[in-house]
Structure 1
């Protein structure tokens, strides 16, 4: 633990308290957000008084109410907040906000102290919390993202509980996707409203030539450009233009197997984020989230998770990607494709400063 700094003033020694991220506890009856701290901070800023930093992470909870998705902010850490200040400053703050309390003191080697987090630990906590607060928008896979052979489960409406297989895709004069419900009834998917079905498996029957999506020049260039996402100078215009060219080449492709769709999405995700098309990236990322449970091939699932981590620096994708690929590092002769994914993962860890 850091000792308090001492300042000599004449014949007296003044103990200068350190500024730390102290852990504060709210009463058990408190379930809302830390609005009091926000208002106090804004008041101090308005009147030119010394301000303080605080961290009260929240997450977005999505509920379906009367057929509509509703988002609400909820506290991520139940009844805990963090305030960066000295102990005396926090006690001064408590005069106006007495509901915020320190955790009980713990014994140190030289003296007792209130629990606190180091700056490094707080950086990591903020990174994890951001993964929950910056959630992807609620998004139901559009019918055009499904292909012949995919299976869906109807979750609401008159066909609730039924499983259906896509038998006809849009195109050739067809406006809607037709699905076979219980092997005897064909229903346009248009009659099943968004939010009333979920993907349960992807088509794995068709075989395709891989060469069009196995262009190492394109894949390597997109991967290398991701390191500029968090650079102060931003993404070079040459890389942005390259991403736009990739989107014009691959953006309208439709693949009919889970493996091929995973390969395609692993190209489109970085291309969208590098081109600056956040709306298209969010839509595709949400589609990927919705089909991940249905992807059976472990390497394809790892490809999507590593790509999502590289595009978002999200701690949830970080953890899932490392968990899924950890055993590969123990293999004596892993495939080249696995080695490439491991290199990408190591690159992202280095670029984003994660161990």
Structure 2
């Protein structure tokens, strides 16, 4: 009876020792939602350039499931851990809207996306904006200058976990949100 009342929520989790692909397969087999931010990297294997899809931040994954399901799977799998807020010690739980925005951007595997740790950016210096055209139409974020880019970018953040700066977007395709 209690299980029916539980709603699925997004957890920020860690799969230690670069086992995020294993964790992803296990979670999908259990019928749970899962997202790992990935991007293409070029590496040299046996003298040839190989373009492979790899996790942006090793060990990071997002799990969408009921708390009881996560607890059950976590008890069977030792390498799956919650990411906790350093100040409060609470598990990091992400709202559906925040996660949908993040997946809409990070899920494109665009080569021009830049990823940042939460302490690398000062989002309070930016302006809240909405993208009105192009690949990221409808997405909202903070418009600011980020290191590693010549121009200002729209940044979508998951509080305390990760931030992603979109590819360069023409200023005509950006509107300020009041």
Q: Could you state the TM-score of these two structures normalised by the residue count of structure 2? A: 0.56
Q: How far has the Cα of 1:75 moved from its partner?
A: 1.2
Is the 8 Å Cα contact of residues 39 and 53 (structure 2) preserved in structure 1? Answer: yes
* Alpha-carbon distance between aligned partners in 2 of 1:228 and 1:60, rounded to the nearest angstrom: 21
What 5-or-longer segments of structure 1 have no aligned partner? 1-8, 45-50, 137-225, 232-297, 306-313, 322-341
| Structure 1 residues 31 and 116, CA gap change in structure 2 (3 angstroms) | same
1:55 aligned to 2:35?
A: yes
Larger relative CO (CA 8 A, sep 6+): 1 or 2? 2
Partner residue, 2:81 = 101
Q: How far has the Cα of 1:26 moved from its partner?
A: 2.1
Is the 8 Å Cα contact of residues 56 and 82 (structure 1) preserved in structure 2? Answer: yes
Q: How far has the Cα of 1:126 moved from its partner?
A: 1.5
Larger radius of gyration: 1
Is the 8 Å Cα contact of residues 42 and 49 (structure 2) preserved in structure 1? Answer: yes
Residue 168 of structure 2: which of 314, 317, 321 is its match?
A: 317
Greater strand share, structure number: 2
1:120 aligned to 2:109?
A: no
Greater helix share, structure number: 1
Residue 23 of structure 1: which of 8, 12, 21 is its match?
A: 12
* Alpha-carbon distance between aligned partners in 2 of 1:228 and 1:73, rounded to the nearest angstrom: 24
The Cα offsets for residues 172-223 of structure 1, whole Å up to 9 and x where unpaired, read as xxxxxxxxxxxxxxxxxxxxxxxxxxxxxxxxxxxxxxxxxxxxxxxxxxxx
1:98-247 correspondence to structure 2 within 5 Å = 98-104=78-84, 113-131=90-108, 133-135=109-111
Q: How far has the Cα of 1:103 moved from its partner?
A: 2.4
Is the 8 Å Cα contact of residues 27 and 34 (structure 2) preserved in structure 1? Answer: no
* Alpha-carbon distance between aligned partners in 2 of 1:228 and 1:72, rounded to the nearest angstrom: 26
Q: How far has the Cα of 1:25 moved from its partner?
A: 1.6
Q: How far has the Cα of 1:19 moved from its partner?
A: 2.2
Partner residue, 1:70 = 50
Q: How far has the Cα of 1:67 moved from its partner?
A: 5.2
Residue 24 of structure 2: which of 15, 32, 37 is its match?
A: 37
| Structure 1 residues 113 and 14, CA gap change in structure 2 (3 angstroms) | farther
* Alpha-carbon distance between aligned partners in 1 of 2:8 and 2:27, rounded to the nearest angstrom: 19
Alignment size in residue pairs: 137
Q: What is the RMSD of the two structures over their aligned residues, measured on CA atoms?
A: 4.3
Q: Could you state the TM-score of these two structures normalised by the residue count of structure 1? A: 0.31
The Cα offsets for residues 66-103 of structure 1, whole Å up to 9 and x where unpaired, read as 65321122211231111111221101112332311112
Partner residue, 1:79 = 59
